[in-house]
C-alpha cells in the first residue's frame, strides 16, 4: 500500500496554495506534515483524501490513478481539529457508524467496537452522548471512529490542537502506539516541531505551499536542507547571524572568530549565514572555543524550569532557551555564548552548505 503524489498542485483563484509536489508515503508509516498555519497542511491533506481535486498532477494509490475518484469511494478516515462526532448518537453508535455503513454483521460490529473502545479507554462511556464527554474523550471517540474503519489512509489534521496541555501530552504518546498495529498510512498535520519529534516516523516540512524536505524525522531535524526548513523545524525559530569565511577563520563580527574546521574548512571564502537553535545559546561560558556576543536583553519569559531570553544583537533578533529561572534586568547589555559546534552554515541562497558538527556526530 502506497500513496504517491506526482506533481500534485492546487491553486485557488490563480493563487497557488500547493506548488507541484512529489511525495510517496509507505504502508505502516507515520508521516508528519509540519508547518506553520497557512503553510498548506490542510490543503495537502484534502488533496490526499480526494476532498479537493488537484489542478495539476496525479494521485496514485497502490500504483492506481485515483485522482478523480470521489471521497466516498476511497479507503480513508479523517480526524479533525474540531471534535467531530454525530451529536445525537451514543459513543457506541458513533464508533459503530462506519461499520454499519459498510454493512457488517451485528456480531462483527460489536467485537470491533468493544475492542476499539477498550484501546481508547472509552468503555465506561459507551452509552453516553458525545457532548456529555470531556474534550479529550470526544476526540478519543473521533479517533476510535477513524480507527475502527480500518482504512488504508488515515488523516489526522491537528487532532490535538483544541485540547489542553495535559490531555495533549497523554494522547500524543498514545496515538503512535494505537495506530502502529493497524498498518495503515498515517498522515499527521501539526504546527509544533515538538509534536513531530515525539511522533517520530517521517516528517515533511511545509512552507508556503511547498514541501521543503521529507525524510525520517530525526534526520530532518538534525540536517535541514535549507534555512527555511530549519526555521520551521525549531520552536522558537532558529537564530541567524551573517558571517564571513576567509582563510582558516569564520568571522562573526564583534571580533569573534572561530576556526573553520571539519566540514567548514572546505567552504570557499565569502559571506554566509550561520544558524543555531535557541537551546544552544548559553548565558555562561562553557569552553575555550565558545563565541561571545554582546546583546541587549529585550524580554524574558519564564516558564518555570526554563527561561526564554529575547535578545537584540545589532539588527538580528535572537531567542535563547536556557534552563532554570533567570531574572535578568531588561535593557541590560549582556554577553551570551555559543559553541561553534552548534552552528549550521547556510549559503546566501538559503541552502545548507555545512551542517553543524554536533549533528553529524550524533
Binding site for other proteins (CB under 8 A): 49, 51, 71-72, 76-78, 80-82, 84, 86-90, 97-98, 101, 128-132, 145
Residues in the chain: 362
Q: In the complex, what is the shortest distance from the CB of residue 92 to other proteins, in angstroms, rounded to a whole number?
A: 12
The C-alpha torsion from 187 through 188 and 194 to 198, rounded to 10°, is -60
Q: In the complex, what is the shortest distance from the CB of residue 25 to other proteins, in angstroms, rounded to a whole number?
A: 18
Q: Are 127 and 77 contacting, i.e. CB atoms less than 8 angstroms apart?
A: no
Between 101 and 219, whose beta carbon lies closer to other proteins? 101
Between 113 and 241, whose beta carbon lies closer to other proteins? 113
Between 125 and 319, whose beta carbon lies closer to other proteins? 125
Between 139 and 205, whose beta carbon lies closer to other proteins? 139
Between 18 and 227, whose beta carbon lies closer to other proteins? 18
Q: In the complex, what is the shortest distance from the CB of residue 82 to other proteins, in angstroms, rounded to a whole number?
A: 5
Between 54 and 130, whose beta carbon lies closer to other proteins? 130
Q: Are 358 and 341 contacting, i.e. CB atoms less than 8 angstroms apart?
A: yes
Q: In the complex, what is the shortest distance from the CB of residue 98 to other proteins, in angstroms, rounded to a whole number?
A: 5
Q: What's the angle, vertex CA 331, arms to CA 328 and CA 334, rounded to 5?
A: 65
- Helices 135-148/91-102 angle, 10° precision: 20
Between 103 and 304, whose beta carbon lies closer to other proteins? 103
DSSP 205-238: EEETTEEEEEEEHHHHHHS-SBHHHHHHTSSSPP
Between 149 and 280, whose beta carbon lies closer to other proteins? 149
Q: In the complex, what is the shortest distance from the CB of residue 169 to other proteins, in angstroms, rounded to a whole number?
A: 24
CA neighbours within 13 Å on the CB side: how many for 22? Answer: 2
Q: In the complex, what is the shortest distance from the CB of residue 257 to other proteins, in angstroms, rounded to a whole number?
A: 55
Measured between alpha carbons, how far is 118 from 116 in angstroms, rounded to an integer? 5
Measured between alpha carbons, how far is 357 from 341 in angstroms, rounded to an integer? 5
Three cell numbers, residue 218: 530525526
Q: In the complex, what is the shortest distance from the CB of residue 51 to other proteins, in angstroms, rounded to a whole number?
A: 6
3-state secondary structure string across 277-331:
CHHHEECCCCCCCCEEEEEEEEEEEECCCEEEEEEEECCEEEEEEEECCCCCCCC
Q: In the complex, what is the shortest distance from the CB of residue 212 to other proteins, in angstroms, rounded to a whole number?
A: 27
DSSP 351: B
Three cell numbers, residue 187: 498522515
CA 142 to centroid of chain Cα atoms: 21
Q: In the complex, what is the shortest distance from the CB of residue 278 to other proteins, in angstroms, rounded to a whole number?
A: 34
Between 129 and 222, whose beta carbon lies closer to other proteins? 129
Q: Report H helices in 149-181.
A: 165-180
Amino acid at each position: 500500500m502506497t500513496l504517491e503524489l506526482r506533481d500534485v498542485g492546487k491553486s485557488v483563484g490563480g493563487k497557488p496554495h500547493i506548488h507541484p509536489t512529489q511525495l510517496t508515503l509507505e504502508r505502516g508509516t507515520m508521516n508528519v506534515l509540519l508547518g506553520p498555519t497557512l503553510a498548506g497542511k490542510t490543503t495537502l491533506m484534502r488533496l490526499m483524501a480526494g476532498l479537493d481535486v488537484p489542478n495539476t498532477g496525479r494521485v496514485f494509490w497502490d500504483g492506481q490513478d485515483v485522482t478523480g475518484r470521489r471521497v466516498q469511494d476511497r479507503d480513508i478516515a479523517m480526524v479533525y481539529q474540531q471534535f467531530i462526532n454525530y451529536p445525537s448518537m451514543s459513543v457506541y453508535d458513533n464508533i459503530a457508524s462506519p461499520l454499519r455503513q459498510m454493512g457488517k454483521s451485528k456480531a462483527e460490529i460489536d467485537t470491533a467496537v468493544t475492542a476499539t473502545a477498550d484501546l481508547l479507554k472509552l468503555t465506561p462511556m459507551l452509552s453516553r452522548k458525545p457532548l456529555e464527554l470531556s474534550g479529550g474523550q470526544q476526540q478519543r471517540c473521533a479517533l476510535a471512529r477513524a480507527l475502527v474503519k480500518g482504512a488504508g489512509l488515515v488523516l489526522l489534521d491537528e487532532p490535538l490542537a483544541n485540547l489542553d496541555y495535559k490531555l495533549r501530552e497523554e494522547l500524543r504518546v498514545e496515538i503512535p502506539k494505537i495506530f502502529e498495529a493497524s498498518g495503515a498510512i498515517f498522515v499527521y498535520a501539526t504546527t509544533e516541531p515538538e509534536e513531530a519529534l515525539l511522533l517520530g516516523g517521517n516528517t515533511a516540512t511545509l512552507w508556503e505551499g511547498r514541501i521543503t524536505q521529507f525524510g525520517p524525522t530525526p534526520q530532518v531535524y538534525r540536517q535541514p536542507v535549507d534555512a527555511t526548513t530549519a526555521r520551521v523545524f525549531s520552536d522558537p525559530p532558529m537564530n541567524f547571524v551573517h558571517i564571513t569565511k576567509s582563510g582558516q577563520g569564520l568571522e562573526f563580527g564583534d571580533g569573534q572568530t572561530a576556526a573553520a574546521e571539519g566540514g567548514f574548512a572546505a567552504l570557499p571564502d565569502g559571506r554566509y549565514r550561520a544558524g543555531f537553535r535557541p537551546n544552544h545559546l548559553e548565558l555562561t561560558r562553557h569552553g575555550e572555543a565558545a563565541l561571545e556576543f554582546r546583546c541587549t536583553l529585550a524580554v524574558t519569559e519564564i516558564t518555570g524550569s526554563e527561561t526564554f531570553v529575547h535578545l537584540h544583537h545589532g539588527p538580528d533578533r535572537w531567542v535563547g532557551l536556557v534552563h532554570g529561572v533567570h531574572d535578568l534586568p531588561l535593557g541590560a547589555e549582556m554577553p551570551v555564548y555559543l559553541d561553534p559546534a552548534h552552528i549550521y552554515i547556510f549559503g546566501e541562497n538559503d541552502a545548507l552548505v555545512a551542517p553543524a558538527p554536533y549533528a553529524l556526530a550524533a
